[in-house]
């Protein structure tokens, strides 16, 4: 193995994989370290039953290679996890990416050396590699959040986390299962676990809004049409706020301007259509609480009409702003609570007290089961970065630099950490977009920057405290114009006790891309190059 490379990359998900492709175009040596045994990132780890993407298949794929996007055949409207993983493996084979990836290897530290302007990357296998540049392609939802409950070690049954699911699957037949959480991962897995388990008890802290995905076999005529104009289709998607959904009909008026009958009919149409289009019927759901209340009430009405037991329906009724946590897409989620073998326990006013040998205690009552599933999400956007001992100038750690919350410029770099790049880091649109579109844009920006530095014989690039302070303020000012900060979402770090409350993703992909391009046109404005 080479001891010195141009670019060291952490993570072999879609971001790390594309970084190899771009580094090779620049004729640069690249080494990727990946904790898993194969490529795929999120889609390698999240193998829980029912895992599938909530962005449509024809959109959730690389756009950089026309032959690749023509040859790959998706089978469903929303691709299931095994198919996305197969796609990632296909890309790795097609571009012979694995020869630059060291699998089953976790990066434990990355330290900047100010004498040589290089990074020293050390792994848990004691590999030590020096690199001119380090790229963290560690993913936004890759560090499992396992809340600490007292007595957790005493539970005698099997324990799983949706984000770290066993490769050979889990057989729930004949088992009593306890599942904590009702976010997207829970909402996808609950209907399937319920079909297999003897009994499923769901522990819900906050009820989520979910709308039908209406997943189905892919419409082959639609695929044919998209493939006949793929570059144009991608371009149209990149012009959307979330870099996806150019085919979604977007209402351009306020929900408050429509009559109640018109609104209700429109909500019904969109409920039947399925997917994120549901929240696009009017243009002010995430801007005005009174508009938001109208569509939130429609979903509550649906829950009441689907769930037969009124007490269970009442518990499932979300009260927060719809959309300020990521909207969940489901297949039979609310219907699952009509099954005799499924029960729901609220743990909001009476939180989980402790885990016992055979279950867990809530409000003095022990709920028993054989298997415990944590569907408790992730330490999002910063978790995987902060698990690594990253040190920049003067040995300052990233954890110290970010003690009050992540500070970046454009979500790609942090002051004091020269030649260090993050793909879809905090402060970039990332999780509010089709991730693969964001990843492509980021990796291209980063590798263009590296190319610029090489051609101009520059050895160091880093942002300034001033640039990043302005950027963080901008990201939060944009969020504050919306209803996003109104609930305790992982966008704000609010799901992890003690995590600073900062709105991390930037809303608005096209504006962000314009800004990134403008920064380059102005000679990497906001960065210092030496």
Query: Where does this chain bind ligand NAP (CB under 6 A)?
Result: 52-54, 141, 147, 162, 180-186, 188, 205-206, 326, 329, 347, 352, 375-378, 431, 490, 495
| Three-class secondary structure of residue 204 per DSSP | strand
Q: Compute the distance between CA of residue 277 and CA of residue 274 in angstroms, rounded to an integer.
A: 7
Phi and psi at 496, nearest 5°, equal: -115, 120
In the numeric block, the tokens 């889609």 are attached to: 43
The nearer residue to ligand NAP, 206 or 413, going by C-beta atoms, is 206
Q: Whole-number minimum distance, CB 507 to ligand NAP, in Å?
A: 15
Smaller CB distance to ligand NAP: residue 54 or 462?
Answer: 54
Q: Which is nearer to ligand NAP, 21 or 360 (CB)?
A: 360
CA 429 – CA 41 distance, rounded (Å) = 19
Angstrom distance (rounded) from CA 316 to CA 300 = 9
Least Å distance between CB 48 and ligand NAP?
8
Judged by beta carbon, residue 326 or residue 452, the one nearer ligand NAP is 326
CB 444, min distance to ligand NAP, A: 24
B/e letters for 129-140, b = 16+ CB within 10 Å, e = fewer, are bbbbbbbbbbbb
Distances (CA, A) of 223 to 74, 219, 235, 271, 463: 9, 6, 16, 23, 43
Closest approach, Cβ 318 to ligand NAP, in A, equals: 10
Q: Which is nearer to ligand NAP, 205 or 499 (CB)?
A: 205
Q: At its nearest, how many Å lie between ligand NAP and the CB of residue 352?
A: 5
Tokens of 111: 């330290």
The helix/strand/coil state of 39 is coil
Measured from the Cβ of residue 398, the count of other Cβ atoms closer than 10 Å reads 23
Q: Whose Cβ is closer to ligand NAP: residue 151's or residue 395's? A: 151
Rank residues 320 and 413 by Cβ distance to ligand NAP and give the closer one.
Answer: 320
Among 494, 442, 500, 502, smallest CA distance to 478 is for 502
Nearer to ligand NAP, 375 or 422 (CB): 375
SS3 6: strand
Q: Min. distance of Cβ 109 from ligand NAP in angstroms?
A: 27
Query: What whole-number distance in Å separates Cα of residue 161 and Cα of residue 186?
Result: 10
Least Cβ distance, residue 347 to ligand NAP (angstroms) = 5
Q: Are 255 and 291 in contact (CB under 8 A)?
A: yes
| Least separation in angstroms between CB 23 and ligand NAP | 28
Least distance in Å: CB of 192 to ligand NAP?
A: 13
The smaller minimum CB distance to ligand NAP, of residues 34 and 54, is found at 54
DSSP 262-297: HHHHHHHHHHHH-SGGGGGSSS-TTT-HHHHHHHHH
169: which residues sit within 8 A by CB, 6+ positions away?
A: 47, 49
CB 409 within 8 A of CB 467: yes
The residue among 182 and 447 lying less far from ligand NAP, judged by its C-beta, is 182
CA distance 391 to 197: 47
426 CB-near residues (< 8 Å, 6+ apart)? 381, 382, 406, 408, 411, 502, 504, 505
Q: Least distance in Å: CB of 497 to ligand NAP?
A: 8
The DSSP bridge pattern shows strands 199-204 and 176-180 to be parallel
- Minimum CB separation of residue 462 from ligand NAP in Å reads 31
Q: Which is nearer to ligand NAP, 433 or 467 (CB)?
A: 433
Look up residue 30 and give its DSSP letter.
Answer: E
Report the first-to-last Cα separation within the chain, whole angstroms.
Answer: 30
Distance CA 56, CA 157 (A): 37
Q: State in angstroms the smallest separation of the CB of 315 from ligand NAP.
A: 13
Residue with CB nearest ligand NAP? 183
Question: 118 or 142, CB closer to ligand NAP?
Answer: 142
Strands (E), 137-260: 158-161, 176-180, 199-204, 210-212
By beta-carbon proximity to ligand NAP, the closer residue of 308 and 354 is 354
Q: How far is the CB of 203 from ligand NAP (least distance, A)?
A: 6
Residues 194 and 341: their CA atoms lie apart, in Å, by: 7
């Amino acid at each position: 193995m080479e001891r010195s490379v141009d670019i060291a990359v952490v993570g072999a998900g879609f971001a790390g994989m594309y970084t190899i492709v771009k580094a090779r175009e620049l004729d640069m040596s690249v080494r990727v370290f990946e904790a898993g045994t194969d490529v795929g990132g999120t889609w390698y780890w999240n193998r829980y039953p029912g895992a599938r993407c909530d962005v449509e298949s024809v959109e959730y794929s690389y756009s950089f290679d026309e032959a690749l996007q023509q040859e790959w055949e998706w089978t469903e409207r929303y691709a299931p996890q095994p198919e996305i993983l197969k796609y990632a493996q296909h890309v790795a084979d097609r571009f012979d990416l694995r020869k630059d990836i060291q699998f089953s290897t976790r990066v434990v530290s990355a330290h900047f050396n100010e004498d040589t302007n290089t990074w020293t990357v050390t792994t848990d296998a004691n590999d030590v590699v020096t690199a001119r540049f380090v790229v963290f392609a560690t993913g936004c939802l890759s560090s499992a959040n396992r809340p600490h409950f007292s007595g957790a070690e005493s539970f005698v049954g099997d324990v799983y986390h949706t984000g770290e699911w066993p490769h050979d699957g889990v057989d729930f037949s004949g088992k009593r299962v306890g599942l904590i959480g009702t976010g997207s991962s829970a909402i996808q897995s609950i209907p399937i676990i319920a079909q297999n388990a003897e009994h499923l008890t769901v522990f819900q802290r906050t009820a989520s809004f979910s709308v039908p995905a209406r997943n189905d076999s892919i419409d082959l005529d639609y695929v044919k049409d998209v493939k006949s104009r793929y570059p144009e289709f991608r371009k149209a998607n990149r012009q959307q706020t979330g870099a996806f959904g150019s085919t979604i009909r977007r209402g351009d008026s306020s929900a408050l301007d429509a009559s109640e009958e018109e609104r209700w009919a429109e909500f019904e149409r969109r409920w039947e259509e399925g997917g994120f289009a549901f929240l696009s019927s009017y243009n002010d759901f995430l801007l005005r609480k009174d508009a938001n209340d109208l569509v939130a009430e429609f979903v509550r009405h649906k829950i009441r009409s689907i769930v037969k037991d009124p007490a269970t329906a009442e518990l499932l009724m979300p009260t927060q702003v719809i959309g300020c946590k990521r909207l969940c897409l489901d297949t039979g989620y609310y219907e699952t609570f009509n099954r005799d073998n499924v029960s729901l326990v609220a743990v909001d006013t009476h939180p989980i007290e402790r885990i016992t040998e055979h279950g867990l205690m809530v409000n003095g009552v022990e709920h028993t089961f054989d298997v415990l599933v944590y569907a408790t999400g992730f330490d999002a956007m910063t978790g995987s970065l902060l698990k690594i001992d990253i040190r920049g100038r003067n040995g300052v750690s990233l954890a110290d630099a970010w003690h009050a919350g992540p500070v970046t410029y454009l979500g790609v770099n942090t002051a004091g950490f020269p030649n260090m790049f993050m793909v879809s880091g905090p402060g970039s649109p990332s999780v509010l977009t089709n991730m693969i579109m964001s990843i492509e844009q980021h990796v291209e920006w980063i590798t263009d920057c590296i190319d610029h530095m090489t051609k101009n014989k520059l050895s160091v690039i880093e942002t300034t405290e001033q640039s990043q302070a302005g950027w963080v303020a901008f990201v939060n000012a944009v969020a504050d114009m919306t209803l996003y900060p109104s609930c305790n979402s992982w966008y704000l770090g609010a799901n992890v006790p003690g995590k600073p409350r900062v709105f991390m993703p930037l809303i608005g992909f096209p504006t962000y891309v314009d800004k990134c391009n403008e920064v380059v046109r102005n000679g990497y404005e906001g960065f210092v190059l030496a």
